């Protein structure tokens, strides 16, 4: 359960595996006056994740989790989250699926951003599927995470037009630029309504 303390911003954790471009857009937004959150922790399963460098430069607490043993990894994550009083997790290109057990034990909310208009194209290779199926629109979705892949309650979506000249790479680029706008907006939306 998320508890907001008057005008105080809620501390969130962002989980990343790569460049962390969505993490960076969340960070930039968190610095705005109207933001309801601040990033207290960045966690990654990848020691070489580009987003970690960004976090360190900005003196944001960061942790690298070894995922060789899922049970140990998730227990360690739960301990770190509790220690840092994290009530909300934002998955931002985190290439690990959180177990049912983890989601049950974590008492806050978990959000994810997915590069398609869910419920269409859950999982990977969404842009390839969109192009192959000649869809007129693609987009991105911010949703709550539950125990089923990309199936949690939708918070916000943004449509992106697919052009005839598009390939998976060009489409991915345009969808990603919309993700950077949508994720902070969705996060702020749920915190305002808390």
The pTM (predicted TM-score) of the whole model is 0.94
144-151 average pLDDT score: 95
Alpha helix (H) residue ranges in the chain: 21-30, 50-57, 70-83, 100-105, 126-132, 168-192
pLDDT tens string 8-64: 899 999 999 999 999 999 999 999 999 999 999 999 999 999 999 999 999 999 999
Say if residue 7's pLDDT is above 90.
Answer: no
114-127 average pLDDT score: 97
Q: Which long-range contacts (CB under 8 A, 24 or more apart) does 57-66 make?
A: 58/27, 60/27
User: What are 63's strand-pairing partners?
Assistant: 43
Joined tokens for residue 51: 């987003």
Question: Sorting pLDDT into bands at 50, 70 and 90, what band is 193?
Answer: confident
Provide, for the chain, the percentages of residues in helix, strand and coil under a 3-state DSSP scheme, each rounded to the nearest 5: 35, 25, 40
83-89 average pLDDT score: 95
180 is annotated as an active-site residue: no
């Amino acid at each position: 359960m998320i508890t907001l303390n008057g005008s105080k911003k809620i501390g969130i954790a962002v989980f990343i595996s790569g460049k962390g471009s969505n993490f960076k857009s969340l960070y930039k937004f968190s610095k705005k006056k109207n933001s309801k959150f601040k990033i207290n922790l960045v966690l990654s399963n990848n020691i070489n994740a580009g987003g970690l460098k960004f976090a360190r430069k900005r003196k944001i607490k960061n942790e690298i989790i070894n995922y060789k043993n899922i049970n140990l990894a998730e227990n360690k994550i739960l301990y770190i989250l509790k220690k840092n009083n994290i009530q909300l997790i934002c998955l931002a290109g985190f290439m690990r699926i959180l177990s049912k057990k983890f989601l049950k034990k974590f008492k806050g909310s978990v959000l994810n951003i997915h590069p398609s208009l869910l419920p269409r194209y859950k999982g990977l290779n969404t842009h390839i599927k969109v192009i192959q199926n000649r869809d007129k629109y693609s987009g991105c979705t911010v949703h709550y995470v539950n125990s089923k892949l990309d199936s949690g309650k939708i918070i916000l979506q943004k449509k992106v037009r697919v052009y005839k000249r598009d390939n998976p790479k060009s489409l991915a680029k345009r969808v990603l630029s919309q993700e950077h706008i949508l994720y902070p907006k969705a996060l702020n939306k749920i915190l305002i309504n808390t």
